[in-house]
């Protein structure tokens, strides 16, 4: 958790950013005996979607959402400095020469 920002508030800010980007965020139980399903982003029928495992704690949901949002260009969006910092902390290192979304 970031100082002065609850896990729930952080998640709400990230969900708001996803909505501004036109990304649907869904929380569903991803438990399946036959398949290994993990939280993350995907394209479904041409739309961006981030699926997050419902039973995860709020902070872990925020981490997953921030990691997925870090893949987008966010410079033109106003974010609280603590939210922007959290997104940057969750970003996976990008490999050289990969195009940015």
Looking at residue 37, its pLDDT comes to 76
Query: Could you tell me the residue ranges of all domains in the chain?
Result: 7-89
The more confident residue out of 97 and 11 is 11
What is d(CA 39, CA 61) in angstroms, rounded to the nearest whole number? Answer: 9
* Interval 43-70: pLDDT, tens: 889 899 999 999 999 999 999 999 999 9
Looking at residue 85, its pLDDT comes to 95
Looking at residue 3, its pLDDT comes to 59
pTM for the model stands at 0.83
In this predicted structure, the answer to whether residue 14 has a pLDDT above a threshold of 50 is: yes
The more confident residue out of 71 and 93 is 71
The more confident residue out of 3 and 56 is 56
Convert 33-73 into a string of H (helix), E (strand) and C (coil): CCCCCCCEEEEECCEEEEEEECCCCHHHHHHHHHHHHCCCC
Architecture in CATH for domain 7-89 = 2-Layer Sandwich (3.30)
CB atoms within 10 A of CB 47: 10
């Amino acid at each position: 958790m970031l100082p002065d920002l609850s896990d729930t508030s952080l998640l709400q800010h990230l969900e708001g950013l996803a909505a501004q980007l036109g990304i649907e965020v869904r929380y569903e139980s991803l438990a399946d005996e036959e398949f290994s399903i993990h939280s993350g982003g995907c394209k479904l029928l041409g739309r961006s979607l981030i699926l997050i495992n419902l039973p995860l704690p709020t902070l872990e949901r925020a981490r997953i959402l921030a990691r997925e949002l870090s893949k987008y260009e966010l410079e033109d969006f106003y974010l609280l400095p603590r939210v922007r910092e959290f997104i940057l902390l969750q970003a996976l290192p990008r490999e050289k020469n990969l195009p940015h979304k």
